[in-house]
Structure 1
Amino acid sequence: MDKTAYIRQLAQRVEQFFGSWEKSELDAQELYRFFHNLKGTAGTLGLSALEQSAARGEAAIGEESRRMVPSTEWEPLVEEARKQALAALGADGCKPDHERVATEPEEREADLPDEAAGRVLIIDDDIELVTYLKDVLEREAFSVSIALTARRGLKLFYDGKPELILLDLLLPDRSGMELLVKIMDKARQDHIPVIVISAHLSKENRLAAYRSGAMDTIEKPVDPELLIALLQNRFAMKRDWERSIITDELTGACNRKHFNRVVQQLIATYQRTQRGFALVLLDLDHFKNVNDTYGHLAGDDVLRRFAATVLGAIRGEDILCRYGGEEFALLLPDNDTQQAVAVVERIRQAFANVSFVDPHGGSFRTTFTAGVTMVHDGNDQSEQLIGEADQALYAGKRAGRNRTMLYDLQQMASEEGKPLQLIFVDDDPVIRELMLQQFAGWHPPGWARQADTQSYSSGTAFLESGWYSEGGKYIMLLDGALPDVDGTDILQRLRSGYPEQNVLIVMLTSRNKQSDILQALQMGADDYIVKPFDHHELRLRIERLARRLNG
């Protein structure tokens, strides 16, 4: 890289300082900062004679000095630096460019494309050094912002969203160490590495920087090649951190924590700019049966391949998150209703064709159900938006699963008005009476009305009762050992003749055998309870199923 332009700027800077100072006393701190910055820039540009001259001036003034320095003391020091700066340019470059316009700190902020290697904020008042480093780093595709004061650095830190900070310890308006302490809590929270850069990195300064949270320290003069390698290393480390923090380890999708953060950001963007997005909740159908029938390793494979299918079908700006268990959330920025449904339908059809290996030698397929909602002025709060997608999802479950359901307020309200039906089928009169008493007047959480209860003493009485009403929602507690018709036979009839999404079945059995439980689950039972059972546990299980029916 050609350094001539930066050497000329440095010489002009020395000339301007020399010409602007009156032949009078000067503040020692101003002089010290002048020599300090000059030394670091000269060393970085490879001007060893000027670096040594600046170092002599720096040492003569002293870092801790708080006095006024007479012209008889400072003039020889500045004059020596001036001669070395002009000598670095040669005879043709000696004249200062009086038309050069000084750049204000507020005008030094870069605005590069999103594909930059990383966003770097340099907080340092040495304008020649930082403009040189800016050029060096931008040639390596970094996006660089510059702050020449602590005040400006603080503003760019909060407003500019840097991904890494280079911070000088000596600033004109505030100690760099003080600034480090002030920003460190947020820097840690946002995983922003801070690298302290200074010409005076004593052991005490390094210790203070590390103890305050700095990741690295770099001593001036700066070797550009080493700086680039260090930044590339730290950005790679930072991205590994971020991936591990936001990624679900099993599926490779983002995790619930990241979903919560991103949905809030998208809502805030919508409120500010009206940029819309779709939220989709996706739930694998009968996933519990997959685990119970084929084992948890097969279940994990289903989750991984489901996430891979979705990730392979969406855009780079779309975000898939594992919401919990077998449920996922998909955020689709800049999609309208029709586009969002089309995306989900494409995924649903692709996943329905994925074949999984049965550990027992065969294969199986599975499906998912999705609920879709769009952000608008009436639902631009995360809880309401998620609630709508959740209601649409369970409306899809009730309608038969393996489908995409768009949130419809009138339809959801109509379904909420129907009571939940609790049916007990058991030949033990004591059990029936206890259940009727326990659930008398029960108002299921989230339902508009209290549940209706019915009981039957035999399978035949139940099957001949005309219990079913189209569109109704039922939770059935079915004894597995009835005297006339076996409970498993009733279960088989229910699963073959009625919409599974509207009829949830809990098997009650005193046969504490793994084979009986497995058979019931394979035939479509949603849960089972082994007698004798705890009534509190029974109530909790029924409440969970009621929430599932209600969506």
Structure 2
Amino acid sequence: MEKYQHLLFEKIKQQISSWFDDRPDELVDHAEVYQFLHSIKGTSGTIHLGGLLFVSSKLLDRLEANEGLKWQKDDLREFLFELISLSYEYEHFKESDYKKNEPCCGDVPLIQIIDDDVTMLILLKEALEDKGWMVMTNTEPDKAVSLYYDLQPDCLVIDVDLPSKNGFQLLESIQLHNHKQFIPKVVISSQIDRITRMNAYEMGADDFIEKPIDMEEFLVRINRQLQRKQIFDQSVLIDELTQVYNRRFLSDQMERYLKDFERTGTSFSVGILDLDYFKKINDTYGHLTGDKVLEAFALFLKEQTRSTDIVFRYGGEEFVVLFPRTNDQEAAEVAKRILEGFSKVEFKEQGQSFHVSFSAGIYMANNSTEGSLDILKKADQALYEAKEKGRACVESANEAMLPANKILNVSVIDDDAIIRTLLVRVLQNIDTDKVLLNIESYENGEKFFEAARLEEEGKHFLILDGVMPVMDGIEVLGKVKSAENASQVNVLMLTGRKTEYDIARALKLGADDYVTKPFSITELQARIQRLIQRMF
């Protein structure tokens, strides 16, 4: 069955390449698009690709309203984006390795889905992310449980019919080791008999949803569970494990500080502190040791901060410190002093000793138009810079506004039609404030240079595949960086090469950042946005 599934997705890729590469200037007939989607719908249903069946059926319904239309390429790309995205995600699907390296998202909830139906898993993830929620996905139960303990999601969605360990066993295990934390659990299953439903509730499920899933109803019911979680979280102000304030109280305090600033002009600073390589501690010594480290760090923060400073646990291994009547330089000095002290604390476990450091981002609120989320995002951007510089350091970021009406020439160079189409769509939807993006895509380096793209006036940002026919990505990078205007060109490498030598070579030749394939579209979008902001 898996063989036929891969063949179908290869057929999709070939058709996309034909439309957007082989016939770039031709209009596409309505009948051709209809035949393509009708074929996908029929085949996907036969070979158990439920998510692909759902998407192709939805597109066919929408297609009826456009009967007789000849499609422009940009319109067709937009129309097929969900199908193209699903094709990419399926081809590169892997277990979620969720990393908190994106800008913090305020009170955006995190949802974990455990299901072995990959296309439906992808579809549920996309639907939930369209609501603005963060999602991590798993098909492997053991890894899913480890991530559950590491990240404490706001809602768990679990399929009963898992191959190696059924959902009931997973629920039972989680209930026994849940540290008394309230996390709603939603069971999904094609088995809808009374015994199955009763077992789900007895094992700790808060809701039961039958397959095939009605997407609108699914989203409403998940939202309801998230509301229950929010009500529970709002009823307490102290984090149970670390005994410092929680993120709910952080929101209240931020609003109070902002009102004081608006009234009196008294600025304040925010620091986000993230323990370095914390997952490695959990993986090496277990989650109980990880909890001990968190408790020790929270206690150290309370002892070493000033009496006026307030410490919060923001989530996982992230903590926030509010520094009232303090500028960013003063707050950074406090954070550096705490870093120096905590890095010397010795932890002993299983006959071994280890030390723990942290990375920190500082931001001083000095603009009455900023909200609490804006301030936390800027502090988090500074935290990201600290991690990029090797961790165990403190960075401060009080940014100037971007210049008005700047134009940035963005070029996507990749031989994979699916990835090119995805990246163009991602770029078209990036919020770059006052920077206007002039976007073009090329299937190889030769076509990029033949178009004399680098001769266009202004700054350039290249998203460059590292491995391509005709001209290898490293060769393209070398030629770009030897151009007269090389100082005006920033390059993000997409590479399947995972060896340190290849990555080091790309960076040495002048690449500004790299992303290893397969990549998360959401993570890549955040990475691109940060790089573009840094250019201005």
Same fold (TM over 0.5): no
Higher relative contact order (CA 8 A, sep 6+): 2
Taking structure 2 as the reference length, what is the TM-score of the superposition? 0.40
Taking structure 1 as the reference length, what is the TM-score of the superposition? 0.39
Structure showing greater radius of gyration is 1
